[in-house]
């Protein structure tokens, strides 16, 4: 009898643990969505609404069409984003990358920028990723202060090379992407 | 929707289009609210189209990570710290991928603690550069910055193309880029460290 009770308790605990984990996972995801995702969606929706209904869109379209629909233009965007002084300023929360990404997305949707350029554009708008966060990120990895001192400029300088390089790689990787339907 | 309905109703009832000062005001008011009507319909399509899938996916992956246990990946950290050229792909492709997948942004960078000091900046650079390319397939890794990918992906969706091709290519090119980024940053760090050691 004792053995049976022990078994029931064991099974009960295991099931309770799994259900508890799943429930907690659900709670975490809904929390993330409400705190992080929906507020940004609201903000982005406003910007898209503004672009689509006012003349601002045409101005942005002209500026983006020249730069975001050719390899040199995308390279120029990535070089600007990778400038060691600018990159930490453009980084926080990836807000700039998200807004520029949305603007380019709108233009792709309207057909002003070829769909094939979506892949290199994803890299062109983002050479500054994490440049604002280097000291904190290194501290999370328990780096010494001396490492942080060298690590910050090392990463920033590395981006000057790897930022534009990533655009070139993405450009060549985008051959055949959404091009059959054109 | 209610507002646009009201505006449409009002437009249907008005026989003459309002003119003069009041007319200009009325037109301005309609233009003003049109911005937010459009924004609202964009918001509704975003929330209706992406959110349900995202919540279910987030729940599933969060549960998976919890059941596996994030501490299981610590062994990988010690393997990645080994010297030798064949550990480069482990350090700058596999470890960033697994860290970002399991620990998500920003806790993924804590995996740097298993690496020697001279490799930490390179690992950080590699890991942080992967928090967006992973979004196309595993948005749980960085839901707060979803629109880096989603903004451009929305345009593709509007054209009626599938997102799978873009998501997979973004992930794969991302892996190549973080690998190169890790190697370049490691070389730059080594150079700067030896220069600092000479100066000291």
Tens-digit pLDDT profile for residues A125-142:
888 888 888 888 888 888
Confidence of residue B2 (pLDDT cuts 50, 70, 90): low
A162–B177 CB contact, under 8 Å: yes
Per-residue pLDDT of chain A (182 residues), as tens digits, is 788 888 888 888 888 888 888 888 888 888 888 887 888 888 888 888 887 787 776 777 777 777 777 788 888 888 888 888 777 877 776 777 888 888 888 888 888 888 888 888 888 888 888 888 888 888 888 888 888 888 888 988 898 888 888 888 888 888 878 765 44
Q: Which of B54, B128, B165 is closest, CB to CB, to A129?
A: B128
Give me the mean pLDDT over the B116-126 stretch.
Answer: 88
CB proximity under 8 Å: B 113-172 to A: 113, 115, 117-118, 120-125, 127-129, 131-133, 140, 143-159, 161, 165-166, 169-170, 172
Confidence of residue B15 (pLDDT cuts 50, 70, 90): low
Of the CA atoms within 13 Å of residue A31, those in its CB half-sphere come to 7
Question: Where do the structural domains in chain A lie, given as residue ranges?
Answer: 55-173
B15 CA to chain A: closest CA distance, Å? 25
Average pLDDT over chain B, rounded to an integer:
83
A9 CA to chain B: closest CA distance, Å? 20
* pTM, two decimal places: 0.78
Tell me which chain A residues have a C-beta less than 8 angstroms from the C-beta of B133: 122
Tens-digit pLDDT profile for residues A93-120:
677 788 888 888 888 888 888 888 888 8
Distance CA A108, CA A122 (A): 12
A141–B115 CB contact, under 8 Å: yes
Q: Among B152, B157, B168, B189, pick the best mutation site for testing chain A contact (most A Cβ within 10 A).
A: B152
Please tell me the predicted confidence (pLDDT) of residue B71: 76
Through-space distance between the first and last CA atoms of chain B, rounded to whole angstroms = 68
ipTM above 0.95, yes or no: no
Distance CA B106, CA A135 (A): 12
Name, in order, each residue with C-beta under 8 angstroms of A95's C-beta and a sequence gap of 6 or more.
none
Distance CA A19, CA A101 (A): 39
């Amino acid at each position: 009898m004792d053995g049976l009770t022990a078994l029931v308790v064991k099974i009960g605990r295991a099931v309770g643990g799994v259900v508890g984990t799943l429930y907690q996972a659900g709670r975490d995801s809904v929390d993330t969505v409400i705190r992080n995702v929906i507020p940004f969606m609201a903000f982005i929706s406003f910007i898209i609404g503004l672009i689509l209904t006012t003349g601002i869109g045409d101005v942005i379209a002209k500026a983006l069409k020249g730069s975001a629909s050719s390899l040199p233009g995308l390279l120029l965007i990535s070089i600007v984003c990778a400038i060691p002084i600018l990159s930490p300023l453009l980084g926080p929360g990836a807000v700039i990358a998200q807004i520029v990404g949305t603007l380019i997305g709108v233009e792709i949707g309207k057909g002003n920028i070829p769909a094939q350029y979506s892949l290199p554009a994803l890299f062109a708008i983002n050479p500054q990723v994490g440049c604002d966060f280097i000291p904190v990120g290194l501290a999370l990895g328990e780096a010494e202060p001396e490492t942080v001192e060298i690590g910050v400029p090392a990463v920033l300088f590395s981006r000057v090379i790897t930022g534009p390089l990533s655009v070139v790689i993405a450009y060549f990787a985008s051959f055949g992407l959404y091009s059959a339907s054109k | 929707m209610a507002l646009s309905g009201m505006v449409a109703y009002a437009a249907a009832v008005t026989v003459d289009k309002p003119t003069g000062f009041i007319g200009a005001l009325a037109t301005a008011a309609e233009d003003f609210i049109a911005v937010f009507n459009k924004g609202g319909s964009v918001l509704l399509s975003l929330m209706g189209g992406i959110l349900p899938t995202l919540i279910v996916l987030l729940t599933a992956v969060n549960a998976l990570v919890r059941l596996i246990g994030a501490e299981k990946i610590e062994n990988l950290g010690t393997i990645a710290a080994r010297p030798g050229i064949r550990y480069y792909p482990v350090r700058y492709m596999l470890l960033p991928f697994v860290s970002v997948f399991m620990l998500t942004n920003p806790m993924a960078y804590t995996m740097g603690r298993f690496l020697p000091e001279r490799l930490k900046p390179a690992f950080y650079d590699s890991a942080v550069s992967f928090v967006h390319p992973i979004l196309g397939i595993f948005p749980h890794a960085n839901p707060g910055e979803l629109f880096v990918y989603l903004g451009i992906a929305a345009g593709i969706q509007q054209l009626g193309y599938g997102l799978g091709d873009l998501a997979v290519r973004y992930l794969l090119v991302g892996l190549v880029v973080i690998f190169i980024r890790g190697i370049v940053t490691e070389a730059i760090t080594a150079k700067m460290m030896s220069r600092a050691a000479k100066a000291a």
